[in-house]
């Protein structure tokens, strides 16, 4: 089973948010979500299984903030290998015997280039450490998500390349005007990553309305992924309420696929219901 081959032939459904479900389950926002892979693996395993049951063919590990810089906020910076390894093994376990790909989620470090320099942090080292642990734990590919800075994405992608030339998806959270930090156009970011031989690029964590504008029209010379969020939330009695319904995401998925996306999932605010709705839409489109 080779993901790139499969994506050439058909569109696949990704999973949805993990953090949103954890919050709904009463996990506090101040907690380190990634640490749950070690202390409550069953909770994370259940979420993966729900997404697989909803029709996701690619699931992402619960490791978005699993780099040393972000884990340091919780005093867990020495446990990068342990946490990412555990996360990869949990996801691998849920995929056992099924036609499911496991992607290791890697988010931005959460600091600027200047801050990294001032603190003596080698950003490449941070990414290498996390990516190495995820691959060691058995993930099939690395999913760089919610990056807003092209330079940081390049550092992360190169770190992945130094380990081996396996698959990585490079997904940006662009602003509604199609720009990244420092004013770089999203399409310029895609072009730059293609020069570096990135196999797959994408957009995630922007609203359904925005993402259809951001995905470049027509089939480009790269494979595209699209993971819209469920709109921007409002807070009601301590709960986050997201505006987009499962059927809204299905409609957006149809437009994204028509625009060339080969992998469609969901970001913040999406649940197994949203993913089931997207999966049904994809299945319906491919029957024709
Ligand atoms: Zn998101």
**Ligand 1 center to 228 CA (angstroms):** 8
Burial of 195 (0-12, 13-18, 19+ CB in 10 A): exposed
Residue 90, classed as helix, strand or coil, is: helix
Domains along the sequence of the chain with CATH: 3-287 (3.20.20.330)
Question: Rounded mean pLDDT of 147-160?
Answer: 97
- Please say whether the dihedral angle defined by the alpha carbons of residues 73, 77, 81 and 86, taken in this order, is positive or negative: negative
**Ligand 1 center to 108 CA (angstroms):** 12
Instruction: Render pLDDT for 232-248 as a digit per residue (tens, 0 to 9).
Output: 999 988 788 999 999 99
**Ligand 1 center to 268 CA (angstroms):** 4
**Ligand 1 center to 253 CA (angstroms):** 16
Surrounding residues of ion ligand 1, Cβ less than 5 A: 205, 229, 267-268
Per-residue pLDDT at 238:
79
**Ligand 1 center to 61 CA (angstroms):** 14
Question: Rounded mean pLDDT of 272-284?
Answer: 97
Q: Say if residue 190's pLDDT is above 70.
A: yes
């Amino acid at each position: 089973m080779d993901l790139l081959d499969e994506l050439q032939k058909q569109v696949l459904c990704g999973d949805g948010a993990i953090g949103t479900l954890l919050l709904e389950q009463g996990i506090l926002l101040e907690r380190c979500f990634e640490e749950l892979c070690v202390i409550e693996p069953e909770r994370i395993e259940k979420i993966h299984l729900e997404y697989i049951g909803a029709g996701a063919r690619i699931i992402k590990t619960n490791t978005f903030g699993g780099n040393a810089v972000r884990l340091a906020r919780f005093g867990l910076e020495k446990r990068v290998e342990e946490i990412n390894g555990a996360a990869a093994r949990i996801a691998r376990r849920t995929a056992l015997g099924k036609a499911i790909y496991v992607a290791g989620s890697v988010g931005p470090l959460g600091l600027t280039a200047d801050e990294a320099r001032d603190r003596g942090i080698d950003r490449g080292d941070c990414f290498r450490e996390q990516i190495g642990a995820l691959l060691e734990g058995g993930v099939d590919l690395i999913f760089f998500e919610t990056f807003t800075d092209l330079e940081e994405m390049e550092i992360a992608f190169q770190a992945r390349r130094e380990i081996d030339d396996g698959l990585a998806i490079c997904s940006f959270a662009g602003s509604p005007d199609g720009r990244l930090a420092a004013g770089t156009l999203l399409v310029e970011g895609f072009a730059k990553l293609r020069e570096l031989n990135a196999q797959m690029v994408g957009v995630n964590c922007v609203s359904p309305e925005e993402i259809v504008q951001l995905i470049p029209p027509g089939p480009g010379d790269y494979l595209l992924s699209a993971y819209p969020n469920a709109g921007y939330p409002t807070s009601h009695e301590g709960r986050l309420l997201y505006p987009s319904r499962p059927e809204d995401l299905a409609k957006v998925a149809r437009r994204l696929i028509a625009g060339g996306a080969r992998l469609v999932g969901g970001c913040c605010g999406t649940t197994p219901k949203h993913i089931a709705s997207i999966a049904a839409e994809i299945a319906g489109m491919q029957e024709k």
